[in-house]
Amino acid sequence: MAADNEISAIYYIQHHLQNLTFGRHPENGWSLASTSAEATEMGFWAIHLDTMGWSIAMGVLFLGLFHKAGRMATTGVPGGLQNAVEMVIEFIENLTRSTFHGKNPHIAPIALTLFVWILLMNTLKILPVDYFPELFGRLGLEYMKIVPTTDVNATLGMALGVFFLIVFYSIKVKGAGGFAKELSLTPFNHWLLIPFNLILEIVGLIVKPISLALRLFGNMFAGEVIFILIALLPFWAIWVLDVPWAIFHILVVSLQAFIFTTLSIVYLSAAHEHH
Amino acid sequence: MNINMTLIGQTIAFAIFVWFCIKYVWPPISTALHERQKKIADGLDAASRASRDLELAQEQAAQTLRESKEQASQILDQANKRSSQMIEEAREQARAEGERLVAGARAEINQEINRAKEELRAQVASLAIVGAERVLEASIDEKAHRKLLDKLAAEL
């Protein structure tokens, strides 16, 4: 009985941590993965439909809300939505002003996108862990992991976007030559040390997106695992642990969004600086 | 936890969202925000300017009031002085008139006295002659004595 319970618990956890994967299976061709093993066998040419769907939904929700507020924006007395949106915008503007030391009007909107998008995606975690898997299970979909930021693909994808922006602005501000010089001649300004510098700087450059992605993913994934573990408890004990953990996660959710955004601005600020 | 195309999909989604945000979301809100900031700053400025103006106007009003008060008291002073002067003048005039009248009366009285004296002088001679006639009971050369007595009367 105990072993049975254990097996079902392991199954439950694995089930909740498996994304809805669509891809080319070596045997079944293009199809939805029906087991975790199948999803792994699909390799790189597969896509997590739940991660993509929910993240795009959150992005559209964010842009829709803010776009609506922008269309109705008046310089007079703002309404409720405009007030809320302006608060966020002002917060991001101040954050950008205090962190980014350069003149680029695009940094603040980039930071806004990152912050609100990640915040919305993280917030999905506050929803009870069983609702959506159960609902989509009834609809015939085997897996449904609704929090995109607990998928390393999503966080790494965004971090990759930030990475491209870093490289883009580095080249735009310093020129390709200037960027190459920065990579090869710092921190040791001597031609003999160019290879050493290159290794150091390129590692430093690549570590930036990876640290961004893994920090967010790690926090969200760990939190999700704890939620799932709590959900395994007897029903009368769930809320005793679930409520404090959820309240604590309101903090983690916004903090992680804030950290991701701030670090992105810092990296972009560094990309704009001449040495 | 497999790395797969989701990574690329997410990057593309991120790029599209950032582009949309830069293009359509950020500018109107940011513009509205800054315009309102400017409007509020202008309003505050205007208010402080107005209060400064008010202060100035109050000061000016007080100044005007003070000046007009001063002027009024000056005018009052002048009027007072003028009235006392007028009274003085009238008094002076009255005194002069009185003196003139008194002098006139005195002159008339003197004239009367002189006339009376003349008359008396004229009569004294006759009276004296009559008196002497009575006393002497004799006829006297009136012509000779008359001259004598006239001389005597003139000496009076």
Model-level ipTM above the cut of 0.90: no
For B26, the closest chain A residue by CA position comes to A109
Alpha-helical runs (H) found in chain A: 2-16, 36-41, 49-71, 80-99, 107-123, 131-138, 152-185, 194-231, 235-271
Give the pLDDT of residue A114. 94
Averaged pLDDT for residues B9-38: 91
Judge whether residue B34 has pLDDT over 70: yes
- Token pair, residue B13, equals 């989604």
Averaged pLDDT for residues B13-39: 91
Q: How far is A193 from chain B (nearest CA, A)?
A: 35
Does residue B66 fall inside a structural domain? yes
Q: Is residue B1 very low, low, confident or very high in pLDDT (cuts 50, 70, 90)?
A: low
Q: What pLDDT digit, counting tens, does each position of B100-134 carry?
A: 999 999 999 999 999 988 888 888 878 888 877 77
Does residue B93 fall inside a structural domain? yes
Does residue B124 fall inside a structural domain? yes
Query: Which of A42, A62, A160 is closest, CB to CB, to B7?
Result: A160
Active site residue A97: no
Pick the closest to residue A123 from A143, A144, A148 (CA basis). Answer: A148
- Phi/psi at A28 (nearest 5 deg)? -90, -5
Give the pLDDT of residue B140. 61
Q: What pLDDT digit, counting tens, does each position of A122-157 carry?
A: 999 888 888 888 888 888 888 888 899 999 999 999
Give the pLDDT of residue A46. 87
Averaged pLDDT for residues B46-55: 96
Active site residue A19: no
Q: Please answer yes or no on whether B4 and A153 come within 8 Å at the CB atom.
A: yes
Q: How many domains does chain B have?
A: 1
Of A24, A31, A215, A254, catalytic: A215
Query: Which of B8, B33, B39 is closest, CB to CB, to A89?
Result: B33
Judge whether residue B137 has pLDDT over 80: no
Please state, rounded to an integer, the average pLDDT across all residues of chain B.
89
Residue A32: beta bridge partners?
A22
Q: List CB contacts (< 8 A) between B15 and chain A.
A: 161
Q: Please answer yes or no on whether B17 and A90 come within 8 Å at the CB atom.
A: no
Select the more confidently predicted residue: B4 or B47.
Answer: B47
Query: Which of B6, B8, B20 is closest, CB to CB, to A63?
Result: B20
Of A211, A254, A264, A269, catalytic: A211
Does residue B17 fall inside a structural domain? no
For B27, the closest chain A residue by CA position comes to A70
Q: Report whether A107 contacts A135 (CB < 8 A).
A: no
Residue A65 CA to its chain's centroid (Å)? 20
Does residue B98 fall inside a structural domain? yes
Q: List CB contacts (< 8 A) between B35 and chain A.
A: 75
Buried b (16+ CB within 10 A) or exposed e, A63-102: bebbbebbeebeeeebeeebeebbebbeebbebbeebbee
The mean pLDDT values, 10 residues at a time, for chain A of 275 residues are 72 85 83 82 86 93 92 80 89 92 89 94 89 87 88 92 94 89 83 88 92 94 90 85 90 94 93 80
Active site residue A219: yes
Measured between its terminal Cα atoms, the distance across chain B in Å is 170
Q: List CB contacts (< 8 A) between B3 and chain A.
A: 44, 152-153, 156
Judge whether residue B138 has pLDDT over 70: no
Residue A23: beta bridge partners?
A31, A46
Averaged pLDDT for residues B9-36: 91
Q: List CB contacts (< 8 A) between B30 and chain A.
A: 89, 93, 108
Give the pLDDT of residue A211. 94
In sequence order, what are the residues at sequence separation of 6 or more whose Cβ sits closer than 8 angstroms to the Cβ of residue A158?
A114, A117, A118, A212, A213, A260, B10, B11, B14
DSSP conformation letters of chain B: ----THHHHHHHHHHHHHHHIIIIIHHHHHHHHHHHHHHHHHHHHHHHHHHHHHHHHHHHHHHHHHHHHHHHHHHHHHHHHHHHHHHHHHHHHHHHHHHHHHHHHHHHHHHHHHHHHHHHHHHHHHHHHHHHHHHH-S---HHHHHHHHHHHHHH-
Best residue in B3, B22, B25, B39 to probe A by mutation, most A CBs within 10 Å? B25
- Token pair, residue B116, equals 């009376």
Domain that holds residue B58: 47-155
Give the pLDDT of residue A194. 87
